[in-house]
């Protein structure tokens, strides 16, 4: 049995996180990374896909580094050379981020599997990023003490305060 999922990894040339479509295979009771879900692989391994998965797959394919390089770099310059122009770099990154945001919204809406830097030897269940429709709001509290001002950062989920895991240090 196979399952499609999406993984984000940092791409140093574009200086952004870019997605990959991957296939997982179930072994015993766990799922493990099998291979990239390239168009050729998807033809050879027939998996019934929902419309939302097909749409996510199409967005992911359009965000492959070699296709982005062809689209934004027709003169085939090194990306570093292209990114020396700050306005051009900003434009390219904004275009990529717009598509990435559309993909992430679709993944969240349809509860598709999502990982970052997926590792082949680890079960995917341990690497999944949970997506929730709940909205979190940051809350920063200040407390004056004899030593100075103490800052406390919380996230507010509905009416529950979730404390920050790390102490805030002012720079």
What integer is the mean pLDDT of 144-165? 82
Output the pLDDT for position 171. 47
Output the pLDDT for position 10. 96
Residue, of 74 and 116, whose pLDDT is higher: 116
- pLDDT of residue 160 exceeding 90: no
- Quick check: 110 and 123 in contact, CB under 8 A? no
- Cα–Cα distance between 73 and 105 in angstroms, integer? 27
- Cα–Cα distance between 9 and 96 in angstroms, integer? 14
- pLDDT of residue 116 exceeding 80: yes
pLDDT band at 136 (very low <50, low <70, confident <90, very high): confident
- Cα–Cα distance between 151 and 64 in angstroms, integer? 42
Q: State pTM to two decimals.
A: 0.77
- Cα–Cα distance between 38 and 57 in angstroms, integer? 9
- Quick check: 92 and 77 in contact, CB under 8 A? no
Mean pLDDT for the chain? 90
């Amino acid at each position: 049995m196979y399952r499609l999922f999406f993984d984000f990894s940092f791409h140093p040339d574009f200086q952004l996180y870019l997605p990959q479509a991957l296939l997982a295979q179930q072994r015993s009771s766990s799922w493990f990374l099998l291979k990239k879900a390239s168009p050729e692989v998807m033809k050879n391994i027939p998996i019934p896909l929902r419309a939302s998965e097909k749409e996510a797959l199409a967005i992911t394919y359009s965000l492959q580094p070699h296709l982005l390089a062809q689209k934004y770099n027709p003169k085939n310059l090194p990306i570093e050379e292209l990114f020396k122009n700050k306005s051009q770099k900003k434009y390219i990154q904004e275009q990529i981020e717009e598509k990435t945001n559309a993909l992430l919204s679709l993944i969240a809406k349809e509860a598709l599997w999502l990982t970052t830097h997926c590792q082949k030897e680890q079960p995917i269940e341990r690497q999944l990023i949970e997506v929730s429709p709940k909205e979190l709001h940051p809350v920063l509290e200040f407390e004056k003490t004899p030593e100075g001002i103490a800052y406390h950062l919380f996230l507010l989920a509905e009416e529950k305060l979730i404390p920050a895991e790390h102490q805030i240090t002012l720079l």
